Amino acid sequence: MLQQIIKKINCPNCSEENEVILWEKVNVDMNPDLKEKLFTEEINNLVCKKCGFVSRIDIPLYYNDTKRKFFIYLIPDFPIDKKEEGKLLSNLREKTLNILDSGYNNRKRIVFEYYNLLEKVLIFDAQLDDRVVEGCKILARTQLKLLEGRAAFDKIENDELVFNFFEKEDLEATKNFSVPKAMYNEIKELISEKDIDNGDEFRIIDVKYAVRMLMN
């Protein structure tokens, strides 16, 4: 399966034409180094050969972990329109029927931002359920009055889920907060009662999902 394409792209700074290697699929088991580059933001970058300017090329990207069995599809700047969204989800399901067996159920996701892709990888790598993590996040943020900006799961430490918090457009985390694993387990029960989806569809699990599950 072809995983990369070569594209001619003009530098946004000096307009010089550059050839860039772009990855469309990251299979972690086949290319573990690509995962690292994803986290250090070293893939799908244009580094201009003339002026050295670095810019990220946002293209749709698959992330497939065939051992832990999760699949995340990043679609940057996708118009959030309910009708389009539904079409996209069912197309993806059909397209991947042959590659993704039932072991992937409940771990097939679509994200629209690069940082969401990274967060999902961290969540699934930690063997957590992202539906529950989103639930923990929204409850903690409401309690801490951290509703502006964004929060992202970082790691598990001392039996607590640690989240980074970013003020509005900040790229660096300014605060962090944590949620005890016991609370995670409580929310897990709540969500498994409410969300009886069998999980063979691609899903968007984000803050809106958490609000639907826990705030209504």
Closest CB to Zn ion among 16 and 125? 16
**Three-class DSSP category at 140:** helix
Find out whether 138 and 145 touch, Cβ atoms under 8 Å: no
Closest CB to Zn ion among 19 and 101? 19
Choose one: 14-22, 75-83, 135-143, 164-172; the region binding Zn ion (CB under 5 A).
Answer: 14-22
User: Considering only residues 3, 13, 27, 96, which one is a binding residue for Zn ion as defined by CB under 5 A?
Assistant: 13
Residues in 29-48 at the binding interface with Zn ion, rule: CB under 5 A: 48
3-state percent helix, strand, coil for the chain, nearest multiple of 5: 35, 25, 40
Shortest separation between residue 7's beta carbon and Zn ion, angstroms: 16
User: Considering only residues 4, 9, 16, 188, which one is a binding residue for Zn ion as defined by CB under 5 A?
Assistant: 16
Closest CB to Zn ion among 13 and 105? 13
Shortest separation between residue 4's beta carbon and Zn ion, angstroms: 22
> 54: which residues sit within 8 A by CB, 6+ positions away?
45, 46, 47, 48
Taking CB under 5 A as the rule, does residue 14 contact Zn ion? yes
Taking CB under 5 A as the rule, does residue 51 contact Zn ion? yes
> 27: which residues sit within 8 A by CB, 6+ positions away?
1, 3, 64, 66
Which residue has 């394409």 as its token pair? 5
Closest CB to Zn ion among 53 and 114? 53
Q: Cα separation of 172 and 149, whole Å?
A: 12
Q: Cα separation of 146 and 136, whole Å?
A: 13
Residues found near Zn ion in the complex (CB under 5 A): 11, 13-14, 16, 48, 50-51, 53
